[in-house]
Structure 1
Amino acid sequence: MLQSFEKALLTRSDDPRPLLDLAQALLQALRTSRDARDAARAEALIQRALTLAPRDFRAWALKAWDEMNRHQFREALVSVRQAHGLGVPSALTLGLESDALVELGRYDDALAVTQKLLDVFPGLPAYSRAAHLRFLHGDIEGAVGLLNESLAMAPPGSEAHAWAFVQLAELHLNGGQIERAENALARAETLFPGRPDYAVLRARVREAQGKPGEALALLQETVDRYPSPDYAVTAWRLARSLGDHEAMRRLALLLDGMARLDEAGDKVFRRAFAEYYALRGNQYGEAERLAREECLRRPDIYSHALLAFVLRQAGKYREANRHRQAALRLGTRDRRLEWWVRPPLAPRPGTVTPNGSRAAGEGIAPFKPEGAP
């Protein structure tokens, strides 16, 4: 398909339509390839199309999609609303608007847009987003119900069909339904094989089954094939829990190189590196810088949870507690969220915290579970 779009581009270089056809095909390919060259090319094609046709609805929609990929969520929201000012909203643009609002922590606004998406374009993209919002609001059972309804709407064997099963597996895993999670993941692999996130999700299933060694092997194999910081940090954290120092050393070398590349680029993986530096125990300052930057650019419940975790590791308990409350405000039942915000013991008066301050001198308020006296 890409070859046909390339051919059309050669013969109609001043027409924005073949530029956007190729850009959209590249953006779709990036869901699995994560190829930085394809990402850069898609961005350049969209910018060229906008130069030729600055009021093109589709060009602004694809610009929003590209910005979402780059974690430029505020910019994506501006772009998608620019598209809506130029044409009738589509399933793609309403979905992008909902996604951007979720990443910005604007959950009430996201609910309103998703309801519009459901009303006008009832299908898998709408049901998938509605299910995610139900999950974020603590209703795993309701989210599972919506996804089961949506599976009847998806074209059998399509990528969208497979993604619904991946989302279903995530929900079952967070709900403690491990066997159901594995079955849903197997369905996804059968329908649309080859995605790297399958192996990462299967590793989480193995860890939940009490098989951390198998989980680490799956993660290491995936990192070798698809060197993503998210996957590498997950593998490093598991190797750390197992005391596998050789795996930790190899992954740390890879992560140190990845961190330099991410800092020089779009800074898409600040969340992963902030957690990594906090867990290493000797880079609290860098972890805090990255977590604060992420919370400013992406103020969702997960960024608040991560910042709470990093601040807690650095001994800044009072501020950590504020971000913990922000992270828990929806009642989300997510194992990763629970790991970041679980309440630690308060430091004893007079003890030195990791940032070098004394607990008694700062009057640090201890972390408390929700509802604790």
Structure 2
Amino acid sequence: MRIPSIKLIVLGLAVALVGAGAAYGAWRARPAQAPALAARQLAAAAQQRPVDKTDQLIWDYQQRVKASPDDVQSYAVLGAAYLQKARDTGDPTFYGKAQAVADAALARDPQNVDALIVAGTLANARHQFHDALAFGARARDLNPSVPRVYGVIADAQTELGMYDQAIATLQTMIDMRPDLSSFSRVSYARELHGDLDGAIEMMQEAVQAGGPSTENSAWVRVQLGNLLFGKGDLAAAERQYQATLALLPDYVHALAGMARVRAAQGNTAEAAALYQRAIARMPLPEFVIGLGELYESQGRAADAAKQYELVRAMEQLFKANGVDTDLELALFDADHGSNPGATLDLARAAYARRPSVKAADTLAWVLFRAGQPAEARRYADEALRLGSQDALMLFHAGMIAQASGDAAAARQRLDQALALNPNFSPLFAPQARQALALLERAASK
């Protein structure tokens, strides 16, 4: 299967031995007790979940490595299971466990490809993309016939802004094995390059390639829903989320998807209830931010502030477990923080480490919030250099163009954002409409 050279990537941040890994973003902590607070939230959520197949796999391979301490392959499978558990629960403490067994495996056999894949997957999940790229390259050099190796490499290349290299890597991967893992990554690449229809087509392939009720299949179905939501097709997005919930009731990512749909439809009470259900089961920062911004859009500042404090607590827990959250933190603090100078330092440093279009968008927005629209404009243009059709990125670019005095570009970007998805955010879509109305009135005088 061949793919046009500019249409290709990553779904989450990895596929290890037992399934897709996860990318976890999080944000800054303020109270000293924040990690404990976040850990309590996760523990409370965990009490609602029964022992599952991943738990059983972890237990089985814990016994294997105890019985055979030099069984490198068992260490590798156990590490992958810990990564899947982190994905299943949102709990980053499993990263440390995965690190320990990956280290144990590589200490016994530095050339074990499966252990290198686990190490690379873990590095991607922690946003340590240069390390992930190195692990992936080592694994590829040892055995270039393993498709999963190319997933690790492509994920890292994408997050480092190496888009041409990522496309070539993904072409190799999908030629070797056109499956859920490769289809979903190609979908993301097409999305980044502005080909939303192509991204939807490829994510549909990923859904078809998965089993009907596995977690990974549920994940890609939700991603399909997210793509449809991004195009403003709320009815089609809802169908995907509801189909996921019919197979896996209370699947948190589908609940959050339904919350976004209900918020876009103006049903804020049901949206809040759905976010609360998702957070009760897995308090991921993206869900908590969604609820906080929903409250903020309703003028419920105190309720929003409580959610943002939980976000900061979660960030400290992620950071304590080796996750580089600086880029995600900078974007969060640009909208909800109070120290523009510190946020700008954070965004510049994060962009230097991972100069992707998403990082350029974040740096542009932070510069705008810090009152530097001229420099912000340069990074906003860079953020859109692939032609991404992302309403939030277009909103950022439009507001930055307005602040820099380019009314025509501002109208164009804000028009694009609202035409793509008129209700892309309960907090920012109204701001986009207000800014566009002002620009149109000024132009008509």
* 208-217 or 170-179, which deviates more: 208-217
Match of 1:243 in 2: 299
Match of 1:70 in 2: 126
**Which of the numbers 109, 113, 137 marks the counterpart of 2:169?**
113
Higher relative contact order (CA 8 A, sep 6+): 2
- Which sections of structure 2, spanning at least 5 residues, go unmatched? 1-56, 414-445
- Asked if 1:99 corresponds to 2:155, the answer is yes
Match of 1:128 in 2: 184
For 2:269 and 2:408, the matched residues in 1 are separated by 33
CA RMSD after TM alignment: 2.3
Change in CA separation of 1:240 and 1:108 when aligned onto 2, cut-off 3 Å: same
Matches within 5 A, 1:191-230: 191-230=247-286
Q: Is the 8 A contact 2:73 2:114 kept in 1?
A: no
* 194-203 or 323-332, which deviates more: 194-203
Match of 2:111 in 1: 55
- Asked if 1:13 corresponds to 2:74, the answer is no
- Asked if 1:318 corresponds to 2:374, the answer is yes
For 2:201 and 2:215, the matched residues in 1 are separated by 20
Q: Is the 8 A contact 1:134 1:142 kept in 2?
A: yes
Q: Which amino acid aligns with 1:185?
A: Y
For 1:204 and 1:289, the matched residues in 2 are separated by 31
For 2:150 and 2:128, the matched residues in 1 are separated by 17
How far off is 1:265 after superposition?
Answer: 4.7
TM-score, with length taken from structure 1: 0.88
For 1:143 and 1:273, the matched residues in 2 are separated by 28
Deviations 1:100-138 (A, max 9, x none): 111111111111111111111112211111111111111
Q: Is the 8 A contact 2:252 2:282 kept in 1?
A: yes
Match of 2:365 in 1: 309
Match of 1:269 in 2: 325
For 1:265 and 1:208, the matched residues in 2 are separated by 35
Match of 1:369 in 2: 409
Q: Is the 8 A contact 1:124 1:151 kept in 2?
A: yes
**Which of the numbers 324, 328, 341 marks the counterpart of 2:397?**
341
Deviations 1:210-252 (A, max 9, x none): 2234323332443344333333233222222211122123223
For 1:281 and 1:156, the matched residues in 2 are separated by 42
For 1:203 and 1:271, the matched residues in 2 are separated by 25
Q: Which amino acid aligns with 1:22?
A: L
How far off is 1:267 after superposition?
Answer: 4.4
| DSSP-derived class of the 1:152 partner | helix
Change in CA separation of 1:200 and 1:297 when aligned onto 2, cut-off 3 Å: farther
Deviations 1:253-292 (A, max 9, x none): 3234344445555344333432332223632122212222
- Asked if 1:168 corresponds to 2:224, the answer is yes
Match of 1:299 in 2: 355
**Which of the numbers 58, 82, 95 marks the counterpart of 1:26?**
82
Q: Which amino acid aligns with 1:31?
A: R
Q: Is the 8 A contact 2:330 2:344 kept in 1?
A: yes
* 171-180 or 297-306, which deviates more: 297-306
Q: Which amino acid aligns with 2:262?
A: R
| DSSP-derived class of the 1:142 partner | helix
TM-score, with length taken from structure 2: 0.74
* 115-124 or 262-271, which deviates more: 262-271
How far off is 1:16 after superposition?
Answer: 1.3
For 2:110 and 2:61, the matched residues in 1 are separated by 21
> How many residue pairs align between the two structures?
356
- Asked if 1:140 corresponds to 2:180, the answer is no
